[in-house]
Amino acid sequence: MPNIAKVPVSFEFFPPKTPEGAEKLRATRQALYAHTPEFCSVTFGAGGSTQAGTFATVKEILAEGQQGASHFSCVGATRATVREQLAVLRAMGVKRLVALRGDLPSGYGAGGEFQYARDLVAFIRAEAGDAFHIEVAAYPEVHPQARSADADVKAFAAKVQAGADSAITQYFFNTDAYFRFVDEAHAAGVDVPVVPGIMPITSSTQLMRFSDACGAEIPRWIRLRLQGFGDDTASIRSFGLDVVTDLCDQLITAGVPGIHFYTMNQAGATGEIMARLQQRR
């Protein structure tokens, strides 16, 4: 049985908005570094809205001796701005990017010189060669704007063929969707690691809101149990830890190439899931 210590883990954070948030995130990172992540990534607001905060957080992670990865979205961007930002990231010592299209908040016009993440991946490769390890996003339960499930797998394969080294999935609670997606991607010519993205369950309203927006399905049995707990946060937390630890356990036992946690800037749930996985092995 694979040991969690041998399965690479990575942690995702978002840039804090306040000095208090930044301080709390420093403590979160220190707690999670005990699990020796392969890298820690920081999200990037589409349209560059969080760029300064993203880069500042990545800088701190690098200064803490960890591999800091920057998410990078291209919606609304021009070649000139992307070129400039890539130069900044290279100068900072960043070696890994999560290259995305992103979603512009409503009210922004589309604009920009990149249509899909595939175009960004190709541009980064042309501009920077192998300076960056490029991650892309994958959607086992189908991206909400995809024309069809098949078209989405083909779009994913095209972005890998444009030069991505590996992928991280949208979170899911149904392992069959993940394994099916990986098989289909493989059949479409994808031979890079597709790492499952894992969302710890800590709040039922937050999870429902995110899932509706990003097209991740919460299975009926999970949704109903969460609804049944009402605002009993201790029961939600305890149930969430059991469900997500089992999910990770199944994935690791099946031999996934890594686990990427959407930490939501909290060390508690992710750290507890890691500890439980370790105990089971």
Pairing of strands 68-73, 9-13: unpaired
Binding-site member from 68, 102, 140, 196 for ligand FAD (CB under 6 A): 102
Applying CB under 6 A, does 96 fall inside the site for ligand FAD?
no
Pick 128 or 155: Cβ nearer ligand FAD: 155
Nearest to 103 by CA among 7, 214, 22: 214
Pick 108 or 229: Cβ nearer ligand FAD: 108
* Residue listed under structure tokens 């991280």: 168
CB atoms within 10 A of CB 246: 16
Helix residue ranges, H only, 70-112: 79-92
Applying CB under 6 A, does 100 fall inside the site for ligand FAD?
yes
Query: What is the smallest separation between the CB atom of 109 and ligand FAD, expressed in angstroms?
Result: 16
Beta bridge partners of 68: 40
DSSP 136: E
**Active-site residue among 12, 135, 141, 184?**
12
Q: Can you tell me the distance from the alpha carbon of 7 to that of 255, in angstroms, rounded to the nearest whole number? A: 9
* Residue listed under structure tokens 């990575």: 10
Q: In the chain, how long is the greatest CA-to-CA distance?
A: 52
Is the separation of the CB atoms in 192 and 167 below 8 Å?
Answer: yes
Binding-site member from 112, 152, 202, 211 for ligand FAD (CB under 6 A): 152
Query: What is the smallest separation between the CB atom of 116 and ligand FAD, expressed in angstroms?
Result: 3
Is the separation of the CB atoms in 73 and 100 below 8 Å?
Answer: yes
Binding-site member from 25, 86, 89, 98 for ligand FAD (CB under 6 A): 98
Tokens of 85: 């930002």
Using the rule CB under 6 A, give the single segment among 43-51, 105-113, 232-240, 265-273 that binds ligand FAD. 43-51
Pick 7 or 216: Cβ nearer ligand FAD: 216
Applying CB under 6 A, does 145 fall inside the site for ligand FAD?
yes
Applying CB under 6 A, does 166 fall inside the site for ligand FAD?
no
Is residue 12 annotated as part of the catalytic site, yes or no? yes
Binding-site member from 96, 118, 160, 240 for ligand FAD (CB under 6 A): 118
Applying CB under 6 A, does 46 fall inside the site for ligand FAD?
yes
Pick 21 or 276: Cβ nearer ligand FAD: 21
The phi, psi pair for 52, rounded to 5°, reads -65, -45
Binding-site member from 101, 182, 185, 269 for ligand FAD (CB under 6 A): 101
Give the contacts of 274 (CB within 8 A, at least 6 positions apart). 4, 9, 35
Binding site residues, ligand FAD, CB under 6 A? 43-44, 46, 71, 73, 98, 100-103, 116-118, 137, 143, 145-146, 151-152, 155, 159, 168, 170, 197
Active-site residue list? 12
